[in-house]
Each structure stands twice: as structure tokens, then as C-alpha cells.
Structure 1
């Protein structure tokens, strides 16, 4: 019995020893790899430390990886903080106003990542002396105004902006809308006008906020922008379009795509033809003087209810002297003549920013002779941008030519005059 008990005990010992041997073959308990310690973001900023003679439009450039900018603090040499905000694309921090000349500023930029790690960099720089030359700028959007749905945002300059300076200028032109309707800035060939529009007309009721932050911006040839300009306005509640057909000598007025009035017109005679194209009402005058002294056919005349369409002097206006010709014959010096009653009605009905389309005359509208952003297709318009066009606003690639579509139509070609305002042709 004793031997049998010893055998049973030995067997039990062997059975309990087997797991220990197997466990030993695995090399012991598995250890989990430890996570790497969080690291701060990588940050680079501009201007470089101790930079000097910078334009007063200088921004704080930021490049960050593995994080986002959490704070930018810019102070002048008296410790006064400068207000500003990050650009929407995160490429830099833009002061809310131009910096002062001959002053030293310090920027402190902090970036933070999802792990809570931060990194901070500082830079100090000095702005340039007051420039000897300034480029005069003009913004067409004014505060508390209501415009038509074709109103382009236009900035004009008193001298040409060279091509190599246009991208820097364009980056300082800011538009926001409610509801959002993204658009593109495009330059006229002469470099004296740049316009912003969406692919289609503004939605009625849209609110526009524009900032042309051009004070101190390099404009080429040693010149700098004169000042910052802002405008907050609204688009009217209705879509109003005027269509003028030289063949019928009639103007059709549409409100929300419904014809509301037909008006007989007299356009420019063959020696002074009216331009065909898509233009926008730019000015409205209850009374003004047309003075063409120095032209081949000089005259000075007072006109009523005049609405400017081009820089070259084409208007819609009252012309009681041509009522007998309106609807049948062209006798004007390039303007669109209507009766006193119709001119008065138009003044009450239209807004600056309403689209006027004229067709069938002897000459085409010169691009840049007025607010001509709608006179070209979207595909043509965006070619005038000095900056890359956002992917969602790029034109669709043309369809291949074939029996179904025959390929895209050819674009109109037009010269670009200097947009010098003049008083018009009656």
C-alpha cells in the first residue's frame, strides 16, 4: 500500500510540473511595448529675427506640423498689443491695421497639439521709413448700401500694378459673404483694376464684407498702397436685369425673371456706336453735365436721370430731344436714350450693381471699360487671378470635341483700356 501511495504521489507531481515546463518554453510573461512620450509641434515663423526695413503690411507667417497655432501676440516697442487674426488657411497672422513706420515689433507665437504639448517662438523686426511714393486705391463697395445681384467687388488703382506685384496685392483683398458664396479675384490686363465675383450672380439678400488691406503693401516700382479700405453692404431682395436689343431698339426690364416693362431706345449712331456686352450700372445721377470738349464732335449738355455703364462715358439717360427716334433709329453719341418718363421710372427701379446686357451693335465692350467682370465666362474670368484658384472654383475641364458637343466655344477677345472716367456721349 505504501508503494502504491508513493506512485500516485509521484504521478501527481509530474502532472503539476508539466505546465511549469511549458511556461518556461515561452520565455516568461509577455511585456507590452511602452508608448513614446508626447512631443511638441514643430513651428517656424517669419519675419526672421532682427529683420529691418519691412513694409508696414508685414504679417506673421506661420508653418506648423503636428499641431495648430493657439496664440499670436504682437506688441510694439512701447508694449502696446496689436490686434489681428489668423488667416483662414493658417498661413499667417494678419494685423487688423497697418503697422506704424520706423517702429520695432515683437511677435510671440505658440502652437499646441492634441497631446497638450506646446512650443513658442519669438521674433523681433523693424518697419521701414515712410515711403516716398503711394499708389492711390479705390474700393467700389460702400458701407450701408444696397446693390444689385451683379455687383462685382472692384478695387482700382491710379497707376498700373506690375505683374510681379499683383499676387501680393491680391492676398490683401478679403471678401466674406453671408450666406457663403466663394469667388475669385481677377485682374484686367492693364493692371489698374481687379474684380471679385462668384461663379454665378449673388443670392438676393446676401451680405458683403470687404477689406482692401492695402496700406503699406508693395505695389511695384517703389510704390506702396495708400490706405486700408472697408465696406459692408447688402445685395437687394430681387434680381433685376436690363436687356437692350439693337435690332428691335427696345429695352426689356426683368424682375425675378419676369418681364415688367418694355422701353423704346435710341442707341449710338454708326459714327459713335454703343458697345455690346454685359456691363453693370456704376453710378446714378439725377442730373449731370456731359462735356466732350476736345472730341471730334464737342458739346456740353445737361442730362437728367443718368446711369453710368462704362468709364468711357456710355450712360442710360433721359433724352427728350430723341423721343421721336426712340424705338426706330439710332442717333446718340453712344449712350442709351430713353424718354423722360422711362428714365425717371428706371432711376426708381434700378440699383447700382444691376446687370445691363446690350447686343447687336457694331462694336464689342472693351474688357475693363467699366465693371466688366460678367462680360466674360467664368473659365475666362479666373485666368486673370494672380494666385492659384481654389480647386472647388476651377473651371471644369472642357468636354472632348465630338458629334454630341463639337467642343467648347471660342472665347471673345477684347482689348483693355485704361479705366479713366469721362462724361459721356448723349
Structure 2
């Protein structure tokens, strides 16, 4: 077994494609917790030079772009991961299944299945399991719950880009894909791995290519993860990754490790940037503003040509001079978001906010900020691109689904990239303590 482990250390075992940047760090966090040394790249790397890690996560910004573009980016990521020698592949999307009837979860899954089945000669079958019980996302009889509410009653029905108005994931996914969609029911998951594999076989016999998998607890995710050991492709939220490191250990390919989450210390000033309009981020912004300095971005002012970036940086400077962290945010209530979208258009408003926060991030870096907490998947993507971040080493978990990270190349930066819906009310303070090394 030692020989197998030594060989595996030279090549990554698991290759992952994430449809947004915070989703990528969420998944990477789960893999690090399972003892896999994990590197996240920002986009598809230009070079095929070998990367030393047990798992690789390619972070794309493909969740809400045109399906054809999402396919092209995802297949390019797959080609790079193949070149790295990965043995198994994972397509990661949000635990609230963010998508529209046009995609992009279904079309990307179809394309990855086609590409991998033609390469490996294996049957084209995978699961779709966005469950993340630790953050309140569970699936029962194919229906996705957020806490005690069905997905379409959770607030996600008001999402500005991907409003989710149907909790039946079999139905949602079938509208997006040419593949037949089935269901691994909870009564197949509860008895254990053998029963799940029997369900896989039965669904394949019926012509199903993609199966929504029920899961209401972490124990269910461990069962499903082990049952997927022989699948070339797995799709879902980060939760399903709980059971994957154990598969590689049982196969003698992954050593036990205690330092998978170790990161270098990054010196410098700190700032928080928030672009998400989710309930969780609204609460986090309100908690910060009750006692800490903050500056709000008004998209309408940006659209009018007002110097909002300069104003935000001017606000930040005296606080940075005293080494005080600042919050700069565009977070708003659903009603405020809708009002802005009526005037500017939905995608245009989002792009305007992202571009503004990206410019502010560059300005903050010029002023000595080296530790960034960023709220919102689209915002995180814009910020890391603006800071020219190419790859990240994944560290310890701050809150479920959100790890600390540090850049591998270029100027040392420490970042916490948070999905809008994740994190406790005091997340911003907690994240800053993790990034500056003062967390317990």
C-alpha cells in the first residue's frame, strides 16, 4: 500500500469543476477536512505543469452565463484535469441548485458525461446531490429543503438571477437536460451502500443517466459518497464530497494527513467586500454596521457616473491608517434590488456592482490591504480576477462551507470567499480573525 500512496502523491486523485468561486472554496474546504491537500485554481490554468495536491478544484464563473459558454469552459477545465492525471471528476454547483430552465447544471452534466464516457468506456451515469445538511440543505423524495422550508419558499424564489420556484429537483433538472432523470429515494439510502448501488443499477437499466439522490444527514452523504467510488463523474454540492476521501484511502491511494489545512501567515491590512443580497449577508452587514465603519455602494450612483470607487477608497483610508478593517458593501434587501433592476436591468445591475467592487479591491490592495473577506459568489469571482489571483491553497474552515485560503503565486494574499447564503451573523469578524491568525 505504501507504494500505491507514494505514486498517488505525484498525481492528483480528484479533479473538480465548480461553477462559481465561492462554491469552489466550499468544496475545497470539505476535501481539506477529509485530509486531502487541495489546490484551487481561478479559471483553467494556462500551463499543464503538474500541481502537487491530492485534489484540484477549478473555479469557473459559469453559473449564470450562456449555456454554450458554460459548456466550453467546463470542458476546457476537464481537459486540464485529465492532463493532471485525475482519477475521478466532480462537477460542483450550489446547494440551492441555482439554475434556470435553460441550464446550466443539466447541459454541463450532459457534456461532462459524454466526454468521460467516451474516454473511459464506462456507462454514462451520475448522481446529482446538492444536499448540505450542516447548512440546512436537505433532499427528501427529490424535494430540496432549506431549513424547514421548501426551496421555493426559502427566499430563493426572489434570487435576482436564478429564482428557484420549484423544489422538485427531478422536475427542475429534467427541464434542463436531454438525459433521463431519476431518483435515488431515501429508502434506498438509509439501508447503506449496497442498497444505493443496487438503486444505481436499477436506474441505469431504466435508461436513467442522472439521478437526484436524497440525503437528510451527513451520514447519508457518507453512504452516497462511498457508493459513488466507481463512478467516473459525480455532481452535487460540497456535502457529497464528505464521503470521497475515504474511498481513496480504502483503495490505498491516500495517506492519513494532519496538516492538509496548513497555510502561511499573510501580513497586511484587512477589508470586507460584500455584494450578495442574500438573507445571511444582509444580517452579517447589519451586525457589522452596528459597531464598525462601513460604506455602501449605490448602483444608481455608479450608473450616473458618480466617482463611487474614489469615494469608497477615501472613506477607507483614515480607517486603514489606524489599521482598522472596513466594510464596503452593495448588499440590499430584495425590494431594493428589484428597484435597481427595474431601472438598470437585472444582469446590468449585477455587472455594475461587481465591476465597482473589483475596482475598489484593486485600490485597497494599493493601500496595503492583503487580507480580504468577500461575500457573494459573483462578487468573489470579480474580486479574485481583479486581484490577479491564479491559485489558492485551502486552509481551515471558518464556518460550514467557508475556509480560509492563501495565494500560492504572486503577492501573498489571504482570502475568505463566502457564498452569500453561508456564515453566521458574526462571520465577518470571525473570518478576519482566521485570516490574521488570532482565531482560537
TM-score, normalised by the number of residues in structure 2: 0.24
- Structure 1 or 2: more strand by fraction: 1
- When Rg is computed on C-alpha atoms for both structures, the one with the higher figure is 1
- Structure 1 or 2: more helix by fraction: 2
Choose between structure 1 and 2 for higher RCO, CA contacts under 8 A separated by at least 6 residues. 2
